[in-house]
Amino acid sequence: MNAHAGFPLPDLTTSLPRAPFEFSPAAGREAAEALAEQPGDLFRRLLRDQESQTTWLLARRLIEAFLPGPGEDGGHEAEEPDAEAIAAEVAAGREGLAQAVADLRALAPETRELVLRQRAPLALMSGCWLDTVSQPATQPSVVVNRLYGQHFRLLGSGNVRRGLPHLRRRALEGLGVYLPEIEDVDFLRKAEARALTELHGSFYLALSRLPASFLPEVVGVHYAVHALGIDDGLTGSEPFFLEPELREVIEEFLACTAQAPTGAEDRRRMLRAVRLVLRLEREHVEMLAELAAWHQSLSLDAKVAAIVARHAEFAGRQHRAVKMGDRKLSDWLDDPELDVAAFMAEFRQSRQMQPTRQGGCRFLRSIKFGGPMFGIFDEREAATFTAWAEAIAAGEPAEPAFVPNTAGDTAARAWSEAIARTEPQDIALAEPGALDDRQFFHRLVNIEHFPSTLPLARERAEAGLADAEILFTHGAGGRYTNAEYFDYTPGALLERVDRIYRDKLVDPYRPLTEIPDRDEVIFGQKTFAQGSLIDGTWAHRIANLGRRNRESDTMLFSIYADEMGRGDLAKNHITIIHQVLASMSVHLPHIRQDAFLDQDELPDHLYAVSIHQICLSLFPDTLYNEILGYNLGIEMFGLGEMRLHEIQKLRRYHFDTTYEEAHLSIDNVSAGHARQSADIIVSYLDGVQRNSGAAAVQEEWRRIWRGYASFAYFVESGLVRTALTQPAPPQAESVDLVI
């Protein structure tokens, strides 16, 4: 493709070019150390640390370990998959598991709850592989938009209570399983997650980190997991997606591959992912059945032993004065190699368990209200201890007290060994070196292949935010913005938004009496195009798994979904801007392509604002506040004089006005994105106020406002030049408004 060739719409991309994944040498060393961690630690790292290249390197290793290579899935490399054959294969898998799932659902409540807790990590993370499938490198692919439309529905179409994670949690709670949020540090322990569950979950999390690079696999995993419906079967819930609408994704993917140079390989990659899911789900259902059988076979002594083993690591130091046999209880329980069988034999004979004249025993009194161990054991555990004490008092003999739980261990060891020995050949360890803006932009767009660039992105984002603070004192003079700092109250923010809207965006508007010539209009559109081609990017990583508990997360996610047309290609802003440019005979390569490095339609000085926006987007945890402020700036910019003038100019030469008109409407200050952006900030800071107090609100607010200022810094270049050479103007007296 030459520098002037554009990519055709619709975008039929089904996979990105295979390329090395570049990480820094330091990330390579850290990842090697992390691979020695326990499966639960790996799961937590992938879930909670989403901004480091080390995590992305781990993700690449896991994907390589799990995905079957050519010919390793039991099929034939020459076979040509079609949607009906794939659906039939998955349906056969579902039928083969149906009886096992029904048996698990019909278990006695105590055992069923154990099974459902074990399955909960996978049930509650379902769909996470779509979290960042929509990104600058993939939009506006037909396949990506089909997936993103389903992702938007999965997360409740703007209302989390309608989303699959919430519905799954309600179903679990209806069956007696109550768990903290999945990102909670204690989640896996309370789910009693086995190593196999943690490893399966880690694979899905790994795929969610690199979905652009593994788009065929995302398609296959998404279809197979939801079409199999194991979680719906276990809880007796109705499917969230009906199979025919899931099959539409497969059909569309296969149709697009028919026109792709890598189509045959993409189809095989997708099919191998489907078969991997069939294997994983069979493996997990077998583990759940094994777990249920283990639990049902436990004697009363063994059930007590399981409770002891569960609590032992937290108990030892609290019992230094208590002896059991010839050892202190603290010595027993502090031992990392605790011999549970020996402990139970001593515990059964100890004076703590012997009946007293008053009835019961010392141990039971200690766990009741007022006792030193009250609150340690839940209601079901306390009932088990009570039944055991009664059996001892009745003279019932000891039963086998230690039956190890090995459910899933064989499969888990096989996966752990595969992860340890896997060395993907496409990993390169190198520092990014010096980059000009074009090269930097290219790496940011293709960040999955250039995680080594993340430290530079962080530095660039912080530098841009720091520079923008000059507008805290000079910002009132902006043409389209007012970044002058003010102390936050909800009323003060809404007043500022209203003044910017009226004084800077609407009231100055007068229709143009003279229209620039055609070439000048085209050049003006080109100056906006660089930012338009990454429309919404600042928010594309918001509301990933583990980031969905604040109302502001859902609200910002909904704004991004609007920018992407909620999966509707005709409303997708990236599609629209390409159509606008095409109406002017401006044809650009896709921004992910190497050819974009050499395009000569967009001048070099336009890259800075786009670079800043993508840099912010890569740090949705640590730069969350700044993203909220930036979002306010960019959503307000779409209103008023500037847009109206552009529409007037475009109409004069019969160019496409859809992009300008869409933003003028959707960003409206009454109920559109501009107002929603202010409401997001109010919602977020309201939570800060309730949790941390007024002082914390002002600290958080300052960061939000520098995010707004960082947008204004690029828009108001003339003001910035003047501010850099002049002293700060006198401060006007501030007035606090409260609503």
State the distance between the two ends of the chain, measured CA to CA, in whole angstroms.
57
pLDDT tens for 353-395 read 999 988 899 999 999 999 988 988 988 899 999 999 999 999 9
Q: What is the pLDDT of residue 578?
A: 95
143 inside domain:
yes
Q: Within this chain, do residues 451 and 376 fall inside the same structural domain, yes or no?
A: no
Cα dihedral 124, 267, 143, 553 in deg (nearest 10): 20
206 inside domain:
no
pLDDT tens for 586-610 read 999 999 999 999 999 988 888 999 9
User: Per-residue pLDDT for 294 more than 90?
Assistant: yes
**Cα separation of 353 and 343, whole Å?**
13
Give the range among 300-309, 462-471, 561-570, 719-728 with minimum mean pLDDT: 719-728
DSSP symbol at 356? P
Q: Within this chain, do residues 287 and 337 fall inside the same structural domain, yes or no?
A: no
**Cα separation of 165 and 674, whole Å?**
29
732 inside domain:
no
pLDDT tens for 66-123 read 998 776 766 666 678 899 999 999 999 999 999 999 999 999 999 999 999 999 999 9
207 inside domain:
no
Q: Within this chain, do residues 335 and 250 fall inside the same structural domain, yes or no?
A: no
What tokens appear for 413 in the block? 């060891």
Distances (CA, A) of 672 to 538, 636, 679: 18, 10, 11
Q: What angle do CA 196, 201, 204 make, to 5 degrees?
A: 135
Q: What is the pLDDT of residue 18?
A: 93
- Given the DSSP bridges, would you call strands 427-429 and 21-23 parallel, antiparallel or unpaired? parallel
pLDDT-derived band at 3 (thresholds 50, 70, 90) equals very low
pLDDT tens for 14-73 read 999 999 999 999 999 999 999 989 999 999 999 999 999 999 999 999 999 999 877 676
Q: What is the pLDDT of residue 270?
A: 97
User: Per-residue pLDDT for 726 more than 90?
Assistant: no
Query: What's the rounded mean pLDDT across residues 410-425?
Result: 97
Q: What is the pLDDT of residue 732?
A: 35
177 inside domain:
yes
Q: What is the pLDDT of residue 60?
A: 98
47 inside domain:
no
CA nearest to 614, candidates 374, 433, 445: 445
**Cα separation of 319 and 316, whole Å?**
6
DSSP symbol at 107? S
Q: Within this chain, do residues 490 and 615 fall inside the same structural domain, yes or no?
A: yes
User: Per-residue pLDDT for 728 more than 80?
Assistant: no
Which uninterrupted H or E stretch holds 427? strand 427-429
* Residues spanned by the domain of 415: 82-200+215-297+411-422
What tokens appear for 678 in the block? 């202010």
**Cα separation of 159 and 368, whole Å?**
42
639 inside domain:
yes
Based on the structure, what is the number of domains in the chain? 3
Which uninterrupted H or E stretch holds 327? strand 327-328
Q: What is the pLDDT of residue 669?
A: 85
* Amino acid sitting at position 239: P
| pTM for the whole structure | 0.93
Cis peptide before 355 (omega within 30 of 0): no
Q: Within this chain, do residues 517 and 584 fall inside the same structural domain, yes or no?
A: yes
pLDDT tens for 256-280 read 999 898 999 999 999 999 999 999 9
Where do runs of H (alpha helix) occur along 394-428?
409-421
SS3 state of residue 618: coil
Count CA within 13 A, CB hemisphere, residue 163.
25
Percentage of the chain beyond pLDDT 90 is 83
SS3 state of residue 161: helix
User: Per-residue pLDDT for 738 more than 60?
Assistant: no
Contact 20, 428 (CB under 8 A): yes
Q: Within this chain, do residues 219 and 108 fall inside the same structural domain, yes or no?
A: yes
Burial track 165-197 (b if 16+ CB lie within 10 A, e otherwise): bbbbbebbeebebebeebeeeebbeebebbbbb
507 inside domain:
yes
Residue by residue, what is the 3-state secondary structure of 447-463? HHHCHHHHHHHHHHHHH
Longest CA pairwise span in the chain (Å): 103
Contact 36, 183 (CB under 8 A): no
Q: Within this chain, do residues 365 and 490 fall inside the same structural domain, yes or no?
A: no
Q: Within this chain, do residues 254 and 374 fall inside the same structural domain, yes or no?
A: no
List, as one string, the DSSP characters of 54-97.
HHHHHHHHHHHHHS--TT-SSS-TT----HHHHHHHHHHHHHHH
Q: What is the pLDDT of residue 68?
A: 87
pLDDT tens for 515-546 read 999 999 999 999 889 899 999 999 999 999 99
Contact 677, 631 (CB under 8 A): yes
Query: What's the rounded mean pLDDT across residues 437-444?
Result: 97
Percentage of the chain beyond pLDDT 70 is 96
pLDDT-derived band at 739 (thresholds 50, 70, 90) equals very low
Q: Within this chain, do residues 331 and 250 fall inside the same structural domain, yes or no?
A: no
Q: Within this chain, do residues 694 and 570 fall inside the same structural domain, yes or no?
A: yes
CA nearest to 54, candidates 534, 455, 556: 455
User: Per-residue pLDDT for 316 more than 70?
Assistant: no
Q: Within this chain, do residues 169 and 95 fall inside the same structural domain, yes or no?
A: yes
**Cα separation of 83 and 81, whole Å?**
7
The CATH number given to whatever domain includes residue 632 is: 1.20.910
pLDDT tens for 200-247 read 999 999 999 999 999 999 999 999 999 999 999 999 999 999 999 999
Q: Which of 309-313, 400-404, 473-477 is most confident?
A: 473-477
What tokens appear for 115 in the block? 């099974």
Query: What's the rounded mean pLDDT across residues 574-583?
Result: 96
Q: Within this chain, do residues 535 and 451 fall inside the same structural domain, yes or no?
A: yes
- Average model confidence (pLDDT) across the chain: 93
Q: What is the pLDDT of residue 537?
A: 98
Beta carbons within 8 Å of 402's beta carbon, 6+ residues apart: 302, 305, 340, 341, 344
CA 290 to chain centre: 31
CA 482 to chain centre: 33
